[in-house]
Structure 1
Amino acid sequence: MTATASPQQPAPPPQVGVIGAGGWGRNLIGNLHELGALRAIADPQEANRARMAEHYGPLPAYRDHRELLADRQIDAVAVATPVATHYEVVRACLEAGKDVFVEKPLTPTPAEAWALAELAEAEGRVLMVGHLLLFQPAILWLRDFLASGAIGRVRSIHQERLGLGRARDYENALWCLGSHDAAVQRFLLDAAPTAVQATGQCILQPQIEDDVHLHLRYPGGVESHLHCSWLWPEKRRSLVIVGTAGMVTYDELHQTVTHHRKGIDERLENRDEGAEVVYHGHGQPLRLELEHFLEAVRERRPCRSDGRFSAAIVELLAEATEQLRSAPAG
């Protein structure tokens, strides 16, 4: 009689502690719980800790994140605290031997961001930043579509992230909204910009731009134009990419990608062979993002939005903001 090998049981997910159980932290906690990866939380607010206990039962809940880091059953940490605290908290996590997922932006300054990226590498730890749009299935599909040459060489990128949003008193619209699109550009082009130009307007508060235009130039002559604002009457989330052999649009609100077989040739004659939706689907980017993080922790693999990728985004945002601050008053 031949013995039948029993199916191999999947490895249990890494155990994750979440620091910060506020608005976005609750989303992380809920998804990690469903993935079987939630081990503990830490939040200085008793009300937040009580709310999590009500939803998830007897879960270790600490007032101080340093208590959470002392838990040896925790493999990794997800950080959802105010951006101003990221450097201190993430550094403590890395020095405690934990892999780290932290919400974007990585830090408020390039020096701090690069320091964390280098520390993670020195410690052999995973450091991943929550650039959520990089885990939207349509963006992944679009990257492959561009690589296939379907619209020829990319010549320009145009993005809008507009709406009547929640104004901030500690960061401008570029840091709050445009960081999503800057990350998407870098991911799709796999390149860093060679020139940066930013203009903006402070309408509600001094030194906080509510409306920003960011213009970037990339190697090979590619240029991009981003308009982001939280003071706008209509909600728009669009991406247009113009190539030498066609164009493509991504409607983030409806999760559709449309291929436009049109353009203007070298004789300045218009060509229009119609358009079709070539991708349509709704994913769960936060769930996919956290699954990617858990896999990177378990398999010790590089992650899509690692420390170096994310530090470069912080550097870009800081350079653009410096231009905004030094612009003459209008």
Structure 2
Amino acid sequence: MTDHATPPPPAPEAVAVPEDPAVPVVPEDPAVLAEQEARRTRRRKAAVRWSCAALVFALAGTGTALAVTAPERTDLPGLATASDGRYTFAPLTLPPLPAGKEAPDGKGRSPHHADLRYLLLPAPKEAGGSLTPPVFPAPTLGPTPSGSPTASPTPSASPTPSASATSLAPVSEFGQWAPCDAIAEEQQDAAKMRSLLLEDACRAATVREWTASDGTRTQIRLLRFGSFRESWDAFTALRGKANPKAAPDTRTTPHSDWDTVDGTIRTVMESTTAGPKGDPTARFAYVSASDILAVITMTNPSGVPTTPFRQVVTLQSDLLA
């Protein structure tokens, strides 16, 4: 007997289930459809409202950011940085040079040819100074050199600005000529200072003074000599032997952390008398810049803060460098 494989049984055919004629197809309720459509409409409107609200908030935030960042921080109430005592000066501007003359080489040896009055640091805003950069008159060679420390420039030798330049920037706004030995009257030993000026032949001198709103009085003198050697000799003698009336007892103070100004050398001193807050009542700086010697004096019975003094000395050095 032969064994045969039994084939699998055939799959049952799908039997269609006839629809029950007794169960009718109920159409959608119009009220339900209307409610669904109204719900979708409300959702779209809510999405539009939220999108508009987000856009408004974004625009408002951008506008606020621009309003805060566009002005200077100091112009915003509550955000102004506390003042550290620095003065507000107009942008520094170097005066023009006479035709054929060159600017100092930055090494502290070549002479200055610019009008000495225009190399003085201008008064700050806190002392009634203008914040507009100066407009300089036509450049000239300046006063005729003189070996006498008492000689002041004659009118014929002084720079004569044109009428239009004078109307824009009177010379008095820059500085004034002064006798060389005017500085001697500020020393306890005036005769010694006059002798020094005679020995080194001071050629011309200028002065600028102001009193700031904090009560600090500033005086800057520029003395021009015939050469770097003469200016350096006066500088070393003054910083080592000067005895100003404003501070009978002084001491040299370190300033190694100050900004370095190429072409200048300075010595900083202060009085041993201090004000209520501990600041010295007088500070001095002697700056050598080629043929020019700058003497900066700041006094205040309440004390001269370090920050404005350092600022004035540095900016005046920049103008001479």
What range is the shorter-chain TM-score in? under 0.3
Larger Rg over CA atoms? 2
TM-score, normalised via structure 2 length: 0.24
The structure where strand makes up a greater share of residues is 1
